Amino acid sequence: MPDPDEAAAKAVALIHEGKGDFIMKGKMETSQILKPVVNKETGLGTGRVMSHFVLDELPYYHKLIVTTDGGMMTYPTLEQKRDIIVNTVETLKALGYENPKIGCVACVEKVNPKMPETVEARQLQEMNERGEIKDCTVCGPISLDIALDKSIAEVKGFDHPVAGDADVILVPNIQVGNVLGKSITVISKGRMAGFIVGAQVPIVMTSRGSSAEEKFLSLVLAAAVTAAK
């Protein structure tokens, strides 16, 4: 189908017709694939925000780790960050996780009223402690080094189950998420797979610069989540 807009609309229509399990962005702009997806009348919304879920394999970390959201939500509100966590936890549960550990990262691990991301990170932790965010353990604010390295957490006197053992890194905004994601793949030579979650079906939306392996792994991951649900 030569017209990208028509192709995107057709892909969404096929999902509604039960003729597709998930969508993958082809040679088109991100805005073109997302326009019919987010259409309030005919799209694939569920009532929650849609967010970018990325599963990363780091050379020196002891397990796979999720980074979110570096590709969909630009500057999420507190409520939208809560939805991003819910999206992420539901996806991880489909992959067999029972109680993922989520680090709401900032550049410091203490609440500072002059740094809104630290305030919201603590609010997310408190929501989790009150049972408003379920089936996970949330910590925030927490610096990235503490979230990923237990020895650094010990040196800094930071005692929390998430410290040094995070399953998920929740970033404060898309700028941090984008830089972190590209640092993992370009600088650290890590591997990643990802897609949009929070819609009725996964939407594989890899970058134009993504490798064939990344596209393949993203397809496999989307298929696994779809099958599990």
Q: What is the mean pLDDT of residues 202-221?
A: 84
What lies within 8 Å, CB to CB, of 178 at 6+ separation is 70, 71
**Given a cut of 90, is residue 4 above it in pLDDT?**
no
Asked if residue 5 belongs to a domain, the reply is no
**Given a cut of 80, is residue 1 above it in pLDDT?**
no
Q: pLDDT tens-digit profile of 140-196?
A: 999 999 999 999 999 999 999 999 999 999 999 999 999 999 899 889 989 999 999
Is the overall model pTM greater than 0.85, yes or no? yes
Residue span of the structural domain in which 61 resides: 49-202+211-228
Asked if residue 104 belongs to a domain, the reply is yes
The conformation of residue 124, written as its DSSP 8-state character, comes to H
Residue 96 to residue 209: CA distance in whole angstroms: 30
Contact call for residues 35 and 44 (beta carbons, < 8 A) = no
208 pLDDT band (50/70/90 cuts)?
A: low
Asked if residue 63 belongs to a domain, the reply is yes
Count of CB atoms situated within 10 Å of the CB of 214: 17
Give how many domains the chain has, as a whole number: 1
Asked if residue 173 belongs to a domain, the reply is yes
84: Cα within 13 Å, side-chain hemisphere: 34
How confident is the prediction for the chain on average, in pLDDT? Answer: 92
Asked if residue 4 belongs to a domain, the reply is no
Q: pLDDT tens-digit profile of 22-75?
A: 888 877 888 888 889 988 888 888 888 999 999 999 988 999 999 999 888 899
**Given a cut of 90, is residue 2 above it in pLDDT?**
no
Q: Percent of the chain at pLDDT above 90?
A: 63
Asked if residue 18 belongs to a domain, the reply is no
- Chain centroid to Cα 209, Å, comes to 19
- With vertex at residue 199, the alpha carbon angle to CA 195 and CA 201, rounded to the nearest 5 degrees, is 70
Contact call for residues 81 and 130 (beta carbons, < 8 A) = no
Instruction: State the pLDDT at residue 32.
Output: 87
Q: pLDDT tens-digit profile of 92-149?
A: 999 999 999 999 999 999 999 999 999 999 999 999 999 999 999 999 999 999 999 9
Count of CB atoms situated within 10 Å of the CB of 169: 24
What CATH number has the domain bearing residue 92? 3.40.718.10
Closest by Cα among 215, 171, 180, 172 to 194: 215
Strands 203-204 and 65-68: unpaired
